[in-house]
Amino acid sequence: MSDVKTDILVIGSGVAGLLFALKVAEHGSVALVTKKEAMDSNTNLAQGGIATVFGETDTFDLHIQDTLSSGDGLCNLDVVERVVKDGPARIRELIQLGVHFNLRRENGISVPDDAFDLGREGGHSHNRIVHAHDMTGREVEQVLLNLVRNHPHIHLYENHIAIDLITQSTRIKRGQVTTTHEDFCCGAYVLERSSHQVKTFAANITLLATGGTGKVYLYTSNPDIATGDGIAMAYRAGATVANLEFVQFHPTCLYHPQAKNFLISEAVRGEGGILIDADGRPFMQDYDPSKDLACRDVVARAIDSELKKSGAESVFLDITHVPADVVRERFPNIYAKCMSLGIDMTCMPIPVVPAAHYMCGGVVTDVQGRTDIRHLYAVGETACTGLHGANRLASNSLLEALVYADAAAREVITELRENAFNPLPHPPAWDDVSTSDSDESIVITHNWDEIRRLMWNYVGIVRSDKRLERAQRRIDIIQTEIQDYYWHFKVVPDLIELRNIATVAELIIKCARHRKESRGLHYNLQYPQRDDLRWQKDTILRRQYLG
C-alpha cells in the first residue's frame, strides 16, 4: 500500500482544478489527481469562450440580466453579481499567465490592449465572449497545465481515478465527556490504473473539480471522463446536492457516425448561423422571438420537436451566407473537423442534433466554494453555486470556474495561514480483503449501456411522469445489481465510473420527479407551465446518514 500525504488534494484537471492548484501551491503541498491524461477534461473541449464584460456599450448590469433571464427565476442574484463583476480581473490574470485571446483587427492589424474580438452567443444581448478562435478551452488548459507541471510544490498524478472521499468525525474530550462534531473530509481513496493499486490520499483540504455528468446520457458532447464522479462521491459522503434535474442539452452536436462527441459551438449561430430543416426551411422563428439566438433550452427543445415531427435524423446549421474566409478564420477547428468528414461548412449546411452538455446542478457550495462537509470544496461544473439557476447562459461556465477557483483558493490560503488544522489525519487503509477479481464484466458493460439509454429515452429533453416513473423503477434494480457487484469484486475503473453514473442518474431522476412544473432545462409534458408560487426554489437532496 502506497499512501500519499499532502496539505491539499485536488481531484480534477480542468481549468478550475488547475488554477486553484497554482494559487494555493505557494502555501502548502498539492497533490493533483486526474483520472486519465491531464488534458482529458471538459475545459479542453470548450470552444466558444468566456463571457465577460469588455465591450464599449456593454455593462455588468446587462450581463447580470442576461444570466438571470437564462436561469429562469432560480439564479442567486448575489452570486450572479459577484461572478459577473469579477470576470474582467480573471481574464487579465489569464493573460498575465500566458493565455492568448483573439484581439479585434482593423485593416488586418490587431488592435492593442483590451480590444478583444468579442463574440456573441445565444441568450446574450451584447458581444461579450472573449475567445481564442474556437479552441478557447484548449488554450487556457495548455497554459495552466504547463505551469502546473513545472511547479515544484504540485505533484501531478495522472491516470489515477478517485473512488470515494474519506471522512472522519472530530471528537473533543471535555472532562469525561466526548463530543462528536460533524464529519470533515480528510482525503480520498484513489485507484492507480497501471498497477490496480488503491492508494490512500490523506489531506487537510480536498477540492472536487471533476467536471460534469454528460456520460450519464447516450448522446453527449462531453469526453469519456464526464461521469459525475465528484457529485457522486460528495453525495455518498453526505454532502448536499441540488438542482440535478437541470441538465443542459447543447442544441448543436455534429451528427456524423465518425464524429462521436464533437460540438458545433454556439458561436456559429452568434456569427449568423441559421438552423434549417431538411427542406432548407428556417424554423426557429416558430419557437422564439430571438430565433437562432434564443437560449439553449429553447433551441434544444425546438430541434427535438422538429425531429419528432419530421422523423428526420438531424436538422442543419447553415452559415454558407457568411464569407468563406471569415468562417475559416473564426472557426478553424470546427472547419477542419467538418472538412475531415467531407462537410465544407462554407458551402454546405452542417448536420446537427442536441446532446447532453452541461450539468447546472451539483454539490452545493457557498461563495468561497465550501461544501457543507468541512474541509471539502467543490468548484466548476461539479458545484452548484447559484449562478446558473435552471439554465446556464452560454460561456458562463469557464467564467464561473475561474471566479470560484480564485475564491476557494483565497479561503484555503487564509485557513492555512491561520494554522486552522490539527496534525494531518490518518485515515484507515483501503480494505478489499473479502473481494475477488471479477469474471463477470458483462454486468458492468450491460448496466453502463442500459443506464445511458434509459436516461436518454426517459429523462431527456422532454419528460413526462410516466417516463420518469419507468426510469426510477429501472434505476432501482440496476443500483441493487451494482452495489452487490461493487462489494464482492475488486474495483476497476469501469466499475468506479458505472457506480458513479448510476448514482448521478438516480439523483437526476429524483430531482426531476420532485419538480412539478416546467422551468428552464426541465420540461415535463404533464406540467408545461412555470409555477413560481410553488416551485421557485432549489431542489435539495442529502443522503441520510447510515449508522
Active site residues: 296
Q: Write the CB contacts of 69 (distance below 8 Å, at least 6 apart in sequence).
A: 123, 295
Of 113, 120, 95, 115, whose CA–CA distance to 105 is shortest? Answer: 115
**Calpha distance 366→123 (Å, rounded):** 26
Instruction: State the first-to-last Cα distance of the chain, in angstroms, to the nearest integer.
Output: 28
Residue that is written with C-alpha cell 447562459 in the block: 393
Give CA–CA dist 395/43, Å, rounded.
11
Q: 3-class secondary structure for 517-545?
A: CCECCECECCECCCCHHHHCCCCEEECCC
- Within 8 A by CB and 6+ apart from 419, the residues are none
- Taking the C-alpha atoms of residue 133 and residue 266, their distance in angstroms, rounded to an integer, is 13
Beta strands in 209-359 (DSSP E): 240-242, 247-254, 274-276, 315-318, 350-359
For the chain, give me the number of helices (H) and strands (E)? 15, 19
Cell numbers 465528484 correspond to what residue?
230
Question: From residue 106, how far is each of 101, 117, 163, 272, 537 by CA, in Å?
Answer: 16, 11, 52, 20, 48
CA distances from 7 to 22, 145, 341, 342, 455 (A): 14, 20, 48, 51, 39
Nearest to 387 by CA among 71, 116, 117: 71
Interacting residues of 297 by C-beta distance below 8 A, sequence separation 6+: 72, 248, 249, 390, 391, 520, 521, 523
